[in-house]
Amino acid sequence: MGLSTASEPTPARPADPHQPNYDDTIVKMFFTATVVWALVGMLVGVIIALQLAWWPANLGLPWTTFGRLRPLHTNAVIFAFAGNVCFLGIYHSMQRLLKTRMFNDTLSRIHFWGWQGIIVAAAITLPLGMTQAKEYAELIWPIDVVIAVVWVIFAINFFGTIAKRRVKHLYVAIWFYMSFVITIAMLHIVNSLAIPAGLFRSYPIYAGLTDALVQWWYGHNAVGFFLTTPFLGLMYYYLPKAADRPVFSYRLSIIHFWALVFIYIWTGPHHLLYSALPDWAQTVGMVFSIILIAPSWGGMLNGLLTLRGAWDRVRTDPVLKFMVVAVSFYGMSTFEGPMMSIRAVNGLAHYTNWVIGHVHSGALGWVGMISFAIIYWLVPEIWKRPLANPKGPTQHFWLATIGIVIYTVAMWAAGLMEGVQWRQVNDNGLLAHPIFLDIVHRLQPFYWLRLVGGSMYLIGAIMMAINLWRTIHGPAPQLETASTAAAGGAY
Amino acid sequence: MSTNDQHTPHESAKTYGQLHRRLFEGRAAFFTVAMTIAVLIGGIVEFVPMFTVSYGPERAEWITPYTPLEVAGRDIYIREGCYTCHSQMVRPMRSEVLRYGEWTRAPEYMYDRPFQLGSRRIGPDLQRLGGKYPDAWHFEHMRDPRATSPGSVMPAYSWLHERALDPADVTRSVRALQRVGTPYEGNLATMVPQEMERQGRQIVANLGQASIQTTWDREIIALIAYLQRLGVEGREHLAAQGNGQ
């Protein structure tokens, strides 16, 4: 049912005499930041993975313990790597979708440097132990204030660009970007409300379980509106571009967009199942989490079915390979998540490595892989030169894919094992594994295995960085075929 | 942008898409407002009852606010990111009650800012840690976790035994907590150093019985004070109620 092509971009646009003068410098700046922070964030991830397998890697220093580096890892990969990918893709695609330059170049630069400054501040303060100890919202209040200001500047630039667009109708990618800009502002501000005690410390205005509910409303929707909706927007732009096919269903995109933005926000309490949070709130969170399968899979199906008629190219085009695996992982983790939100399943999964496996199938599989796809597609397009090593993306693809599988399988196994052993009761009605440390010891092989998978993923990213560095800074190519590169034909 | 409708096979789909196109896609401001409303609803429905007595988490007078020394200890717990490996939430399950003790009741968190329920148990839950081990155990455990818990993967926190507490800093924390609504006695904020010393000397005395020499103003003393009060009031209240499992 090829319902339409209402507002998707025409894949191969003929030379347009009225083509606006796009600001691609800002795209290049966000690209550089993306690759740098990807390497930093993943490297810290590998280090903390090593710390769990081999505790001396904590180095005996306050600044390098797991407790301080783990927030640095999560902040770096979410807000630094994934954040810069979103900005990179949004600044590139929205100018083209709206056929206009960004609203204001100065605002673009303030957004860029402000965001990088925030990340540097995070990288300094978190190892120093300056934290609010709320997951993915650890940064201290002065940084929170700067985040709010920079985000508002981004929002002005974003909506200003929409206001001066030269295309009447907003393409589906823009809808998802809009939900990203609005919702993240709301989540960040509400969750960060606190009373300072000096420059480096503050206490939230919410206490106890109310604070927990607000935090997980924020925390789960950081997943929903930082790692999902903007990336679905990117999928809706770059997947049809790379596949050279229109989006499968316009109508499906309407339904799943509205359902996703409405339903996602309810799901936070599934992080607090079996806690003393009121039962009604837990149940609401669980029910909406299960309903969320529908709009999530709507997005997945719309992505995969866009490839209809282009599946033969998946064999040869590494950009499409990355995209297919990314969208598949999106589908898998948005199935797994709702399952884990069912109270009985959560009773086993909560607090275990299973959660870590789930998170990384989404983060490495969906966010990471679609980011690599976009980057490999965009660099030849923007710099107008083919990749220095055309085989590199395929090697990266296999290394990353196998790495993810090793990582998630190790964590699933570890999570199930510890979840079962924590709760196992013998015939006398006593705990079968009363010594917690015994279970910790049995996890060690899985922690090593996870380290292997994560390292493979990091090595793939390093290969990508080298390849792209050589592409951009290497000798200029003789034959300039940006359009072939753009269509994925160059590799 | 390209026109579409000649590809549309179904009449309903056609009108459906056209309606959305006319209503939202050409009107960015309206679209943004509509989307914002859609996103706001879930949060409002969940939050508003949480601030009322009948639907939100209960409160109780059998829980008291953290003392200044415990506040200092909790700030260290936060600083070191203990929540990345330890939860503070015993779930109402047989195995959890056997392993950790009474499951957690809502009022036990009522003075927790920020909450520290945690999301991962790399180490065990700490909700009912208070009173489980003597002070000397914690002192040793923080210096070298493997001395008390062979094979532990926890990093050593030996700097806690050297670094001095800053009572002025703790006073700021107590004042801020008072401002967000913690019901401290009127003049507590002016007596923070004395209160810390009083409670700290008690812990130093306990440690002295185990032949450990230290002073009350070390960070480890504050952390011990915090860890030793975790879950104690709740446990005692539930025991007095005869409400055990």
Non-local CB neighbours of B126 within 8 Å, separated by 6+ positions: B82, B86, B87, B88, B227, B230
Residue with the two structure tokens 């200001």: A149
The CA distance from A261 to the nearest CA of chain B, in Å, is: 6
- The mean per-residue pLDDT over the stretch B195-222 comes to 97
Q: What is the arithmetic mean of pLDDT over B120-136?
A: 97
Distance from A365 to chain B by nearest Cα, in Å? 22
For chain A positions 301-330, those within 8 Å of chain B (CB to CB) are none
CA distances from A152 to A114, A164, A188, A459 (A): 11, 18, 12, 36
d(CA B219, CA B142): 11
Q: What pLDDT was estimated at residue B72?
A: 98
Task: Write out the DSSP string of A408-449.
Answer: HHHHHHHHHHHHHHHH-B-TTSSBSS--HHHHHHHTHHHHHH
Q: Is residue A64 part of a domain?
A: yes
Does the distance separating the beta carbons of A280 and B4 come in below 8 Å? no
The answer to whether the Cβ–Cβ distance between B155 and A288 falls below 8 Å is: no
What average pLDDT does this structure show over A326-332? 97
Region A458-486: what's the mean pLDDT?
80
Q: Which residues contact A259 (CB under 8 A, 6 or more apart)?
A: A294, A295, A298
Q: For A124, left (φ over 0), alpha (ψ -120 to 50), or beta?
A: alpha
Structural domains in chain A (count): 1
Indicate yes or no: CB of B115 within 8 angstroms of CB of A215. yes
Q: Is the pLDDT of residue B11 over 60?
A: no
In a 10 Å sphere around its CB, with 0-12 CB exposed, 13-18 middle and 19+ buried, how is residue A348 labelled? middle
**Alpha-carbon separation of residue A309 from A223, A301, A304, A370 (angstroms):** 32, 15, 11, 20
Cβ neighbours for A470, distance < 8 A, ≥ 6 positions apart: A388, A389
Is residue A486 one of the residues assigned to a domain?
no
Q: What percent of chain B is predicted at pLDDT more than 90?
A: 84
Q: Is residue A484 part of a domain?
A: no
Q: Please name which of A18, A162, A38 lies closest in space to residue A88, comparing C-alpha atoms.
A: A38
- In this complex, the residue of A196, A422, A440 whose CB is nearest that of residue B95 is A422
* Residue A317 covered by a domain: no
Determine what percent of chain A is predicted with pLDDT higher than 90: 91
Kindly list the residues from chain B whose CB atom is less than 8 angstroms away from the CB atom of residue A280.
49, 55
| Residue A58 belongs to a domain | yes
Residue B67 CA to residue B50 CA, distance in Å, equals 26
Q: Which of A306-310, A350-354, A372-376, B171-175 has the lowest mean pLDDT?
A: A306-310
Collect all residues with Cβ–Cβ distance below 8 Å to A174 and sequence separation of at least 6: A94, A97, A98, A162, A233
Q: In whole numbers, what is the pLDDT of chain B averaged over residues?
A: 92
Nearest to A182 among B9, B39, B93 (CB): B39
Mutation test of the interface with chain B: which of A70, A161, A206, A209, choosing the one with the most B Cβ atoms within 10 A?
A209
Say what the pLDDT of residue A380 is: 96
Gap from A391 CA to chain B (nearest CA, Å): 35
Cα angle A208-A212-A217, degrees, rounded to a multiple of 5: 150
pLDDT band at residue A7 using 50, 70 and 90 as cut-offs? very low
Contact list in B for residue A7 (CB cut-off 8 A) is 1, 4, 21, 25
Q: Are A462 and A46 in contact (CB under 8 A)?
A: no
How high is the pLDDT of residue A3?
Answer: 40
The confidence score (pLDDT) of residue B54 equals: 79
**Mean pLDDT, to the nearest integer, of A396-422?**
98
Distance of CA A444 to the CA centre of its chain: 28
Q: Write out pLDDT tens, residues A81-136.
A: 999 999 999 999 999 999 999 999 999 999 999 999 999 999 999 999 999 999 99
A182 vs B89: CB contact, 8 Å cut-off? no
Q: Is the pLDDT of residue A488 over 70?
A: no
Q: What is the mean pLDDT of residues A74-85?
A: 98
Reported as a single tens digit per residue, the pLDDT across A380-404 is 999 999 999 999 999 999 999 999 9
pTM over 0.90: yes
Q: Which of A1-15, A99-113, A281-295 has the lowest mean pLDDT?
A: A1-15
Span of A237-251, A349-363, B10-24, B38-52 with lowest mean pLDDT: B10-24
What DSSP string describes chain B? ----GGG---HHHHHHHHHHIIIIIT-HHHHHHHHHHHHHHHHHHHHHHHTSTTTS----TT--PPPHHHHHHHHHHHHTTGGGT------SSHHHHHHH-SPPPGGGGTT-SS----SB-SS---TT-TTTS-HHHHHHHHH-HHHHSTT--PPP-GGGGTPBP-HHHHHHHHHHHHHTT----TTGGGSHHHHHHHHHHHHHHHHHHTT----TTBHHHHHHHHHTTTTHHHHHHHHHTT---
Name the pLDDT band for B12 (thresholds 50, 70, 90). Answer: low
- Residue-level pLDDT at B199: 98
Q: Residue A442: how many CB atoms within 10 A of its CB?
A: 14
Look at residue A4 in the predicted model and tell me its pLDDT: 41
What confidence category does residue A476 fall into, taking pLDDT thresholds of 50, 70 and 90? confident
Residue B173 in contact with residue B226, Cβ under 8 Å?
Answer: no
Q: Bigger pLDDT: B57 or A42? A: A42
pLDDT (average), residues A310-319: 94
pLDDT at A15: 54
**Whether B117 and A275 lie within 8 Å, measured CB to CB:** yes
Question: What average pLDDT does range B26-50 have in this prediction?
Answer: 95
Query: Does A93 fall in a domain?
Result: yes
pLDDT of residue A279: 94
Go through the domains of chain B in sequence order and give each one's CATH number: 8-50 (no CATH), 68-240 (1.10.760.10)
For residues A427-450, give the mean pLDDT: 97
Alpha helices, DSSP H, located in A265-317: 279-291, 293-305, 311-314
pLDDT tens-digit map of A448-470:
999 999 999 999 999 999 999 99
Query: Which residue in chain A is spatially nearest to B52 when comparing CA positions?
Result: A210
Is there a contact between A85 and A33 (Cβ–Cβ < 8 Å)?
no
Whether the complex's predicted ipTM surpasses the cut of 0.95 = no
- The CATH number assigned to the domain holding A178 equals 1.20.210.10
Say yes or no to pLDDT of B154 above 70. Answer: yes
- The per-residue pLDDT of chain A, averaged, comes to 93
DSSP A351: B
User: Which pLDDT value is given to residue B52?
Assistant: 83
**What pLDDT shows up at residue B6?**
43
Q: Report the candidate in B134, B116, B124 with the shortest Cα–Cα distance to residue B95.
A: B124
pLDDT at A314 over 50: yes
Is the pLDDT score of A223 beyond 50?
yes
Count of Cβ atoms closer than 10 Å to residue A462 Cβ = 15
pLDDT grade, residue B118 (50/70/90)?
very high
- The predicted pLDDT at position A20 comes to 77
Please report the pLDDT score of residue A203 as a whole number. Answer: 97
Q: Domain limits at A71?
A: 22-227
Asked if A151 contacts B102 with a C-beta cutoff of 8 angstroms, the reply is no
pLDDT value at residue B27: 93
